[in-house]
Structure 1
């Protein structure tokens, strides 16, 4: 079972389809029930014969997120992969962005990773699972006019790196993929291509622990063999190299 936290019609859907094609049952978490119902139907329509479920939740609400993850685990009996695919885009410069805006966006785009992992950890530990996170190039190349986006992406990358060692001790693999481009069909950043990389990273959990790596990039110039998830920039088991 894969749980996609922050499921939407772009990468969230592509990720769900990629994991479903690999035989994973799928759970979708997002804010709007109607949108999730439509996404689940589109995954079902691919005909892979997996179970697809969903739960509408505000991922910035830690208690609600924990309850949603708990219901999924209780219903399915297991959780193999947690895919955190959350960010909040807010247009605005210095004068248009308040400290409350920044903290609120961090609660959604960054703190939701901690909340989801805390809720999912017992099930992930039991399954020898994986946590994969969608990162973005704004983490170290901030986007002008969208102040909080880069802060979210830098913080979520740092948070996963900080958690990776403890997760590994629990037998849970962790990886983040920094996507250095704009998602668009027919480009190196086609959501389907990004989803394939995320699936490959999640599958690292089947390798020996000493081969687990945390920080990965998609630059758009990778050779074909990076589809195996081996395009590492730095970091193994939470320690920068």
Structure 2
């Protein structure tokens, strides 16, 4: 394939799908990584019907070997990865008195650790100008104690994105986490489509004005000076 391409890790009917559709409208070929074969196939078919090139892989991204193979294969089929979007997180409704160490580590492996796997596999396909984006959450700063692992995941994800940006910036590749300061809903300012617009805008921020974290509070696209944070 030629032209720009997007790889969405954690593709499905919600925000992952909305991000895929938003970039596809700009002419991006789209690679989809997900666990639900039926939902990923449906999204890929929708993108193709709208005129976009779409490739997909069904894999458990916590399986390092399988995820590495899947991302490498998609990178080869796409030819390049201009935007890598990381969307997954685990929701486990357990407070600190009930959350086990094993449960916490399992969730962090999905919501944080898997980003290392897909980034390392995608790196040969990321050239100068490429962007890495991640779905952040206000849970990083304001965790709900009844789902304690989610806050740990989102705080860790934001921290890791900062390290990724510092590591890749000399190669002209930048990374950003988009902190969603609200609860995702089917309609309204925190609908998947609106949040996808914020992620798209964050990826398109000029290098000279780059931020490693951008907050989206539902009032705009998340790139205004009042919403962005370093």
| 1:200–1:229 Cα contact (<8 Å) kept | no
The answer for the alignment partner of 1:11 in structure 2 is 15
Task: Supply the distance in 2 between the matched residues of 1:73 and 1:56 (Cα, whole angstroms).
Answer: 14
| 2:214–2:223 Cα contact (<8 Å) kept | no
Task: Supply the distance in 2 between the matched residues of 1:41 and 1:25 (Cα, whole angstroms).
Answer: 13
Q: CA RMSD in A?
A: 1.6
The answer for the alignment partner of 2:60 in structure 1 is 58
How high is the TM-score relative to the length of structure 2? 0.92
The answer for the alignment partner of 2:80 in structure 1 is 78
**Residue 156 (structure 2) pairs with residue 161 (structure 1):** no
How high is the TM-score relative to the length of structure 1? 0.88
| 2:178–2:216 Cα contact (<8 Å) kept | yes
CA deviations over 1:46-84 (Å, ceiling 9, x no partner): x2x221111011111222211111001111211111000
Matched residue SS, 1:78: coil
Count residues in correspondence: 226
Task: Supply the distance in 2 between the matched residues of 1:192 and 1:95 (Cα, whole angstroms).
Answer: 36
CA deviations over 1:162-215 (Å, ceiling 9, x no partner): 2211111121021110001111133111111110111112223xx3x3322111
Matched residue SS, 2:73: helix
Change over 3 Å in CA distance of 1:77–1:221 after alignment to 2 = closer
Change over 3 Å in CA distance of 1:92–1:143 after alignment to 2 = same
The answer for the alignment partner of 2:210 in structure 1 is 212
| 2:86–2:134 Cα contact (<8 Å) kept | yes
| 1:215–1:232 Cα contact (<8 Å) kept | no
**Unmatched segments (≥5 aa) in structure 1:** 236-241
| 1:92–1:145 Cα contact (<8 Å) kept | yes
Matched residue SS, 1:146: helix
**Residue 146 (structure 2) pairs with residue 145 (structure 1):** yes
CA deviations over 1:14-67 (Å, ceiling 9, x no partner): 11100100110011101121221112122233x2x2211110111112222111
**Residue 202 (structure 2) pairs with residue 233 (structure 1):** no
Runs of 4+ in 1 over 4 A off after TM superposition: 227-232
Shift of 1:230: 5.6
